[in-house]
């Protein structure tokens, strides 16, 4: 199969769809890989490394899209890339189409693209094996983000996460005890913050409590969220419903009761956001103030640790990539129920996708 690995065209997206190690595996299986010039540069992979792995370097996005039967990306295509797509191409990436502009989804449907969203590949136990890798990274990055934006010079309230003798640590509230929330809780705890985790699942809270009894756990109800946010210095939202818009767990009215200059970090923003006042920001302008509260709503947080992120998600995605490359998309989807759960568009039809469109945001 002809496999294309293009350069990512979204701002501040430094990751790449496959590492040279992944290309080498695919080439050894008899596939042909076309890598766009400098596609891996942001993640520290040179064209020479890809060539040594057996790939051919091409010098335009149009060419790599034109050659590809299977296209391996990180983020969903922008409009120009959709126009480059050949009919019936298979696309794999972190697509988050539930919050994409309507025209992007319509473009994939019109091209009869088979679009497989890594974030929706789901095992029988409900776990998300490919997304899990980036959720871990995002969760572990949350404390370093919080530490920066609690500083006065960046708009924060001037609090040290871990406190010092005689001065209490920051109060950190985490809504969501999945992979991202749990990793964030552990990392915040390691820096000395006082951490409270809320989730609807008692099983998830029990896991956190059993491993880290010093972390406070609470059932995620409106009343408990409101109470916790009243004393919070940092609120981290990591709520996910695969294939759907993230539910709103913190309303504007709740926001008004929070302490001024507290920090909200919405890591559900790529699925529409879990705070009513959230709107997407970028790595160069990551924050804004709403109702006196500092908001951090960058969708692609792990993109700025691109080498680690690329290796992590490729490790998890390779078994699925290899199945599609070996069998073709239709046969692979038919054989693998986990892969089938990740299908968003297939031969002109939508699957496993509840559409929600931000009126002004998104690509």
Per-residue pLDDT of the chain (363 residues; tens, 9 = 90+): 999 999 999 999 999 999 999 999 999 999 999 999 999 999 999 999 999 999 999 999 999 999 999 999 999 999 999 999 999 999 999 998 877 788 889 999 999 999 999 999 999 998 999 999 999 999 999 999 999 999 999 999 999 999 999 999 999 999 999 999 999 999 999 999 999 999 999 999 999 999 999 999 999 999 999 999 999 999 999 998 877 888 999 999 999 999 999 999 999 998 889 999 999 999 999 999 999 999 999 998 999 999 999 999 999 999 999 999 999 999 999 999 999 999 999 988 999 886 544 444 445
Strand residue runs (E) in 104-229: 114-117, 171-175, 194-199, 216-219
Partners of 194 in the β-ladder: 171
Residue span(s) of the chain under CATH 3.40.50.720 come to 2-126+307-350, 130-303
Has 96 been annotated as catalytic? Answer: yes
- Candidates 31, 266, 270, 295; catalytic one: 270
pLDDT at 244: 81
CA angle 163, 164, 168 (to 5 degrees): 50
Q: What is the DSSP code (8-state) at residue 118?
A: G
Q: What is the DSSP string of 292-353?
A: TEEEE--TTGGGGSHHHHHHHHHHHHHHHHHHHHHH-HHHHHHH-HHHHTTEEEETTEE-S-
- CATH for 2-126+307-350 is 3.40.50.720
Nearest to 99 by CA among 74, 75, 81, 123: 75
Assess whether 132 carries a catalytic annotation: no
What is the structure's pLDDT at 240?
86
Q: Which of 31, 96, 132, 194 is catalytic?
A: 96
For residues 78 and 310, the answer to whether their CB atoms sit within 8 Å is no
Confidence at residue 207, expressed as pLDDT on a 0 to 100 scale:
96
Closest CA to 8 of 113, 104, 94, 107: 94
Say which residue the tokens 């949350």 belong to: 142
Distance CA 135, CA 67 (A): 32
CA 51-55-60 angle, to 5 degrees, is 100
pTM here? 0.90
CA pair distance 225, 180, nearest whole angstrom:
18
3 state DSSP class of 89: coil
What pLDDT is attached to residue 358?
Answer: 47
DSSP-based three-state secondary structure for 244:
coil
Strands 293-296 and 287-290: antiparallel
3-state secondary structure of 163: coil
CATH superfamily of 130-303: NAD(P)-binding Rossmann-like Domain (3.40.50.720)
């Amino acid at each position: 199969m002809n496999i294309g690995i293009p350069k990512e065209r979204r701002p501040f997206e430094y990751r790449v769809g496959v590492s040279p190690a992944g290309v080498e595996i695919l080439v050894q299986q008899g596939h042909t890989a076309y890598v766009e010039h400098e596609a891996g540069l942001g993640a520290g992979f040179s064209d020479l490394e890809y060539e040594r792995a057996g790939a051919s370097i091409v010098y335009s996005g149009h060419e790599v899209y034109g050659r590809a039967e299977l296209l391996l990306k990180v983020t969903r295509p922008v409009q120009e890339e959709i126009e480059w797509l050949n009919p019936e191409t298979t696309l794999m990436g972190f697509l988050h189409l539930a919050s994409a502009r309507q025209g992007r989804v319509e473009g994939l449907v019109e091209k009869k693209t088979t679009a497989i969203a890594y974030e929706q590949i789901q095992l029988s136990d409900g776990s998300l094996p490919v997304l899990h890798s980036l959720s871990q990274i995002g969760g572990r990055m949350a404390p370093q983000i919080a530490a920066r934006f609690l500083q006065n010079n960046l708009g924060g309230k001037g609090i040290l996460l871990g406190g010092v003798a005689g001065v209490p640590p920051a109060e950190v509230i985490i809504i969501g005890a999945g992979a991202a929330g749990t990793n964030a809780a552990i990392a915040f705890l390691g820096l000395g913050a006082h951490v409270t985790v809320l989730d609807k699942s008692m099983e998830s809270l029990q896991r956190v409590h059993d491993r880290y009894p010093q972390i406070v756990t609470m059932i995620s109800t409106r009343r408990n969220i409101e109470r916790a946010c009243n004393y919070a210095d940092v609120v981290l939202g990591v709520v996910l419903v695969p294939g759907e818009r993230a539910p709103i767990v913190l309303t504007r009215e709740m926001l008004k009761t929070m302490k001024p200059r507290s920090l909200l970090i919405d890591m559900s923003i790529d699925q529409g956001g879990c705070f009513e006042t959230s709107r997407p920001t970028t790595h160069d302008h990551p924050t804004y103030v709403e109702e006196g509260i500092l908001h951090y709503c960058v969708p692609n947080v792990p993109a700025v640790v691109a080498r680690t992120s690329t290796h992590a998600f490729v490790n998890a995605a390779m078994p699925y990539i290899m199945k599609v490359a070996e069998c073709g998309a239709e046969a692979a989807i038919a054989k693998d129920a986990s892969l089938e759960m990740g299908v968003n568009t297939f031969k002109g039809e939508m699957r496993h996708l509840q559409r929600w469109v931000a009126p002004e945001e998104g690509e």
